[in-house]
Amino acid sequence: MPIDLLAEGFGRGFSGIPYGWTVAQGTVVVGVIALLKLYFGGATCRSERVMHGKVVMVTGGTSGIGAAVVQELATRGAQVILLTHHAPSDPFLVDYIEDVRTITNNELIYAEQVDLSSLHSIRLFATKWVDNAPPRRLDMIILCANIMTPYFGTSQTTMDGLEAEWMINYLSTFHLLSILSPAIRAQPPDRDVRILFSTCSSYIGGKLDYKTNEAATKSGTSSYARSKLAVMTFANAFQKHLDAYKRPDNQPSNARVMIIDPGYARTPGTRRWLSGGSIWGLLVYLLSWPLWWLILKSPSQGAQSYLLAAMDAEYGRSPGGKLIKECREYQPLRSDVENEEVAKQLWEFSEKQIERLEKQGAVKRALAKKEAEEEKAANEPTTNSTTAGGKRDPTSGSRRSRKTK
């Protein structure tokens, strides 16, 4: 049959083949779509590394790009510790961990409850980790947790009174790593320790305004850009902080910071931002889904730069502080992210902000505990009755009761 069609085409011309032009046009359209999909899909990580024995701590590892990173590292044998606001007994988390263990054939997947919107929750977990003796093994920290308010939405406020983007995207990272710093620096000199930060190209338009991050603003876009600029500034400062530490064994620092820009992917956060956080917006998103499928990466494609930074042997030997995008190194487009004076100001502001908010939180918890105890005492039934004269009735079997008989 194909030979007959070809012979017909050669004999009478291409127009002689039934539906020839239709097939040709369809082939061109499919080819263009395939090329566009390949282009927007981004680069692929080619590094191969066995992760058996590696202990990897991950935030934001239950959805989107974080989940894709967790699955790939677990497949390679890494022990993964998920930091999640869900309790370990939560049915969703139990099922999720069981699914990952089954898919990756790796039982070393665990969860620790850490609410990144709460400074107190972060401190409870981090101090417990640091207080362990001898220091627990820690090969990698991957910070994928992220939140972005829809364009037409209003930023949320956390329990500590902070703007959600500022707290979850940046300050939680600062607080967590500040406490875990001794555990990172205590790792043996021959251990390859890596800390992976998440960023986005929106940092280019960010502005470090220290007066607006303690109240929800009307636009989540500006607050998101500000938080990403702060993340990048802190990442470079944290690398210098690790390098400045003088180890007791006089060995150079073995911890390296890397900043990852995964590009634009079809994550739950991106879907929420595109839909504006509304039902009608979600309907529009679903109707235009073929477009987003074409120009946005899948979570697995968005994870490729993380995997390169986590597994490539070259990054274990070279200096830290690199920005990685599309599996390549880039220079930041904002010079102030590497400015020491800006980093110092941000660091000092963050420490003072955390100190003040933790004091306020401690007072609130103490008052709440006192109120709970008073309410409990008021609701407890009295065990001893009183007489009309205001004296207690002698308790049966007591010394007084025996004397009155």
Mind listing the pLDDT tens digit for each residue in 103-154? 999 999 999 999 999 999 999 999 999 998 788 999 999 999 998 888 777 7
Spatial CB neighbours of 90, under 8 Å, sequence gap ≥ 6: none
SS3 77: coil
pLDDT number for residue 383: 52
C-alpha to C-alpha distance for 146 and 267, rounded to whole angstroms: 11
Catalytic annotation, pick one of 54, 228, 297, 322: 228
- Judged by average pLDDT, the poorest of 70-74, 107-111, 147-151, 355-359 is 147-151
Using the predicted structure, report yes or no on whether residue 6 has a pLDDT greater than 90. no
Report the b/e string of 318-328 with b at 16+ CB within 10 A: eebbbbbbebe
Residues 334/204, Cβ–Cβ less than 8 Å: yes
Residues 248/196, Cβ–Cβ less than 8 Å: no
Establish whether 370 is a catalytic residue: no
Mind listing the pLDDT tens digit for each residue in 287-311? 999 999 999 999 999 999 999 999 9
**What does the pLDDT average to over 378-401?**
55
- The domains located in the chain, with CATH, are 55-267+299-355 (3.40.50.720)
pTM reported for the whole predicted model: 0.85
Copy the structure tokens of residue 294. 């074409």
Using the predicted structure, report yes or no on whether residue 276 has a pLDDT greater than 90. no
